[in-house]
Amino acid sequence: MEDDHVENGEFRNLLGDCVHCGFCLPTCPTYVLWGEEMDSPRGRIHLMQQHSQGAPMSGAMVEHFDRCLGCMACVTSCPSGVQYDRLIELTRAEVEREHPRSAPERMLREAVFRLFPYPNRLRALRGPLRAYQKSGLGRLIRRTGLLERMSPSLAAMERLAPPLSRATRLPERVAARGERRATVAMLTGCVQREFFPGVNAATARVLAMEGCDVLIPRGQGCCGALSLHSGREDEAREFARRTVVAFEAADVIVVNAAGCGSAMKEYRRLLADEPEWAGRAEALSAKTKDLAEFLAELGPRAERRPLPVTVAYHDACHLAHAQGVRAQPRALLAGIPELTVKEIADPEICCGSAGTYNLLQPEAAAELGDRKAAGVRATGADLLVAANPGCSMQIATALERQGVRLPVAHTAEILDASLRGLGTSALLRAAV
């Protein structure tokens, strides 16, 4: 009850910061799509104020909150410093406590949160999913439209699954090449570990080639990002405590998934009211770095070999808006000889992935994915670069829906190809 009292006081104070100026409107994905005031940040803040003054948490109100992607573009654009990200997190936690969802919706949400934050469960899914992809059954099911009619969310899950290659397991330590410059611990993630193992392998190699000993703690699991950003705070705190224990001995923690890095940097707030954990969480947040952020601070040492390719760089929301990491990935890519970086129009507008959003709000997510895919196509790039697994799956699926098969790679994979001298053909073959 004391925590609820503290949160209510914080909530009321934060609500008062919004002056309803409207600077957020052009950057809000759902407002851009539909032009509806209640599907904008200031509209949702108005609904939050109504609820704080006694209005019931109605189904219509919850729908507007659910439609928010939590992309934080409004936080970046707000001249008044409104902490909308915190407001929507507190609101979603209240929705979880107060609002009775329908049985099908509860079942879907429970399925998502009992699967995706657990790498071992995702690993068990790999075999059947690979067999399904190789059988060609997916193409037949999509042509019939049966799954779409049964459940748009299940249809979205089926479409979004990336082509699965053979899993690679990293050792607990990857030694630095040449003189050691740093020792770092690496988060392997959940979806990243099981669906994009090549990204983790490339990350470890790049760090090693830049003179880092890379430690990969075997005790690590989910960082809690999906739970935190969906209002499941108790669940997120449990994942956070486990992550603190797994990485406590590290000097630096390198993360290659934008949503995970953002969540770990929030541990200082998430566990602030727990005396046993507050200081430890603060220390972990302070030493968590995105891969591009860390490499930019470290500075290049390994030789960059030419990659004559044109890439479009996509800003993941939890990297650009949540962590403020924008210039570093672009600088790393620009440092590769013969590589050209193209900008995508409206980079601040989310692609529609947003953690579980493309599963729980598939129609809106598809609209945003199509918009982003059109922007990518307009660049004329040979390759899309993204720094988050959700973004990679979302945009690749949207491009395929538009009849375009454009390879998608992580920043780490581009650097890896350059440092190893693999050449453009090998890079494009390896990309999703």
Q: What is the mean pLDDT of residues 276-301?
A: 96
pLDDT over 60 (residue 2)? no
Residue 45 lies in a domain: yes
User: Dihedral, CA atoms, 133, 139, 140, 143, nearest 10 degrees?
Assistant: 150
DSSP, collapsed to helix, strand or coil, labels residue 189 as coil
Confidence bin at 432 (pLDDT 50/70/90): low
Query: Alpha carbon of 381 to those of 230, 319, 321, 371: distances in Å?
Result: 34, 22, 24, 16
pLDDT over 60 (residue 335)? yes
Of 68, 58, 59, 14, residue with least CA distance to 36: 68
* Single-letter residue type at 77: S
- Helical H segments across 99-229, by residue range: 103-115, 119-135, 137-144, 146-150, 152-160, 191-195, 197-209, 225-228
Per-residue buried b or exposed e for 37-75, using 16+ beta carbons within 10 Å of the residue's own CB: ebbbbbbbbbbbeebeeeeebeeebbebbbbbbbbbbbb
Block residue for tokens 């979302």: 394
pLDDT over 90 (residue 155)? no
Whichever domain contains 315, its CATH number is: 3.40.50.11810
pLDDT over 80 (residue 423)? no
Residue 358 lies in a domain: yes
DSSP, collapsed to helix, strand or coil, labels residue 419 as helix
What pLDDT is stored for residue 3 in this prediction?
47
* Domain end call among 72, 98, 124: 98
Whichever domain contains 93, its CATH number is: 1.10.1060.10
- The rounded distance, in Å, linking the Cα atoms of 362 and 211 is 43
Block residue for tokens 């707030």: 269
pLDDT digits (tens, 9 = 90+) for 311-325: 999 999 999 999 999
- The rounded distance, in Å, linking the Cα atoms of 263 and 240 is 9
Residue 196 lies in a domain: no
Check if the beta carbon of residue 45 is closer than 8 Å to that of residue 61.
no
Rounded mean pLDDT of the chain? 91
Cα distance between the two ends of the chain: 48
The pairing of strands 288-290 and 253-255 is: parallel
Residue 276 lies in a domain: no
Check if the beta carbon of residue 193 is closer than 8 Å to that of residue 200.
yes
* Domain end call among 98, 131, 165: 98
Residue 395 lies in a domain: yes
Confidence bin at 6 (pLDDT 50/70/90): very low
Confidence bin at 98 (pLDDT 50/70/90): confident
Check if the beta carbon of residue 366 is closer than 8 Å to that of residue 168.
no
Residue 331 structural domain? 304-430
* Single-letter residue type at 359: L
Q: What is the mean pLDDT of residues 217-227?
A: 93
* Single-letter residue type at 343: E
Residue 183 lies in a domain: no
Greater model confidence, 371 or 17: 371
**Which pair of structure tokens corresponds to residue 193?**
């570990």
Confidence bin at 5 (pLDDT 50/70/90): very low
User: Dihedral, CA atoms, 264, 11, 117, 369, nearest 10 degrees?
Assistant: -100
- The rounded distance, in Å, linking the Cα atoms of 404 and 372 is 13
- The rounded distance, in Å, linking the Cα atoms of 70 and 427 is 33
Greater model confidence, 288 or 132: 288
What pLDDT is stored for residue 7 in this prediction?
58
Domain tally for the chain?
Answer: 2
Of 201, 291, 196, residue with least CA distance to 253: 291
* Domain end call among 98, 117, 152: 98
What pLDDT is stored for residue 297 in this prediction?
96
Residue 245 lies in a domain: no
- The rounded distance, in Å, linking the Cα atoms of 204 and 69 is 31
Measured N-to-C along each axis, helices 41-52 and 2-15 cross at an angle, to the nearest 10 degrees, of 130
Q: What is the mean pLDDT of residues 243-269?
A: 96
Residue 326 lies in a domain: yes
Q: What is the mean pLDDT of residues 325-351?
A: 96
